[in-house]
Structure 1
Amino acid sequence: MTGVWVLIGTLAAVSVFGLAWRRSQGRVRAAKVSELPPELRELVDPGSRVTLLQISTTFCAPCRHTRILLADLAGKVDGLRHVDFDVTNHPEVASSLGVLSTPTTLAVDSDGVELMRVGGVPKRDVLLDALRPHLG
């Protein structure tokens, strides 16, 4: 009977953790870094109000969904650009940015200053609402 209670407790703990993790995915969060590494700095478009820097890895399935979503947004919203950077062979870049999982999307202004970030696949409407003040 003790084994059943251990199993129930484990399932409950895993469920709570899973729900908390899922809830955190796709949420817009405050900026973490003040200066981008040179590898990313050169990707920022000075002609765009906001560049979405997607931090990805080669075998990341959610990264593909994020790429499609962000490319679509950049194609439809004036002043918005999307760039994908694969950190598979550049883990030092991910580390310097405080990126612990992919995809992570950084929204940066034309000077390369991080405005916000999203862990996981962004929620389209939430991201657009957060970007509006920066798109002017």
Structure 2
Amino acid sequence: MTGVWVLLATLVVAVVAGLLLKARNGRVRAAKPAAAARDLAQLPTPVADALDPAAAVTLVQISTTFCAPCRHTRAILSALADKTDGLHHVDLDVTEQPEVAHALSVLRTPTTLALAADGRELLRVGGVPKGPELLEALRPHLEAGTAADAH
């Protein structure tokens, strides 16, 4: 009888863990204060080099070679950047550069960082982003960039 209770408890824990992971996947999160205060000089060189100074927001996708969801994320973000003014997308493969992921506190791939032209982190998404939700979260930053360009 003890084995049945252990099996049942294991099943419950697995289901709860699965539901939590599913709920967090693709969720847009605001940048932590330390990341939001970061500037270009504090970014790892490959990330700083990937920023587009002409874009209000650069989406930096942190990927690895063996990551299947990264391909889906690349398609979503590329399409979003192609149809949105002021938005640039770059896919950064960190398979051979784990120090870059470590410096950015990236624990999983894909992770998408939305960075301002000055290197400040605006938000991040762990997992495959939901395009409309991401665009909605970016809208104030894109509009601010457009207003700054008009002056």
TM over 0.5: yes
Are positions 1:65 and 2:67 aligned together? Answer: no
| Residue 87 of structure 1: how far off its partner (Å) | 0.5
1:82 is matched with which residue? 89
Any residues of structure 2 matched to 1:40-119 within 5 Å, and which? 40-119=47-126
Q: How many residues align?
A: 136
| Counterpart in the other structure of 2:24 | 24
Secondary structure (helix, strand or coil) at the match of 1:8 reads: helix
Contact 1:36/1:113 (<8 A) preserved: no
What is the Cα deviation at residue 30 of structure 1?
1.9
Asked if residue 129 in structure 1 is aligned to residue 136 in structure 2, the reply is yes
**Percent same amino acid at aligned positions?**
62
Q: Quote the residue 2:147 is aligned against.
A: none
Task: Considering fraction of residues, name the structure with more helix.
Answer: 2
Alignment partner of 1:42: what SS?
helix
Q: C-alpha deviations, 1:37-92, integer Å up to 9, x for none?
A: 11110110000011000000001000000000000000001110100000000000
Unaligned runs of 5+ in 1: none
**SS of the residue 2:114 aligns to:** strand
Range 30-39 or range 66-75, more displaced: 30-39
In structure 2, how many angstroms separate the alpha carbons of the residues matched to 1:12 and 1:36?
41
Q: Distance in 2 between matches of 1:46 and 1:26?
A: 26
Question: Over the residues paired in the alignment, what is the CA RMSD in angstroms?
Answer: 0.8
The one-letter code of the counterpart of 1:110 is A
- Runs of 4+ aligned structure 1 residues displaced above 6 Å come to none
SS of equivalent to 1:102: coil
CA distance in 2: counterparts of 1:6 and 1:73, whole angstroms: 47
Quote the offset at 1:29 in angstroms.
1.0
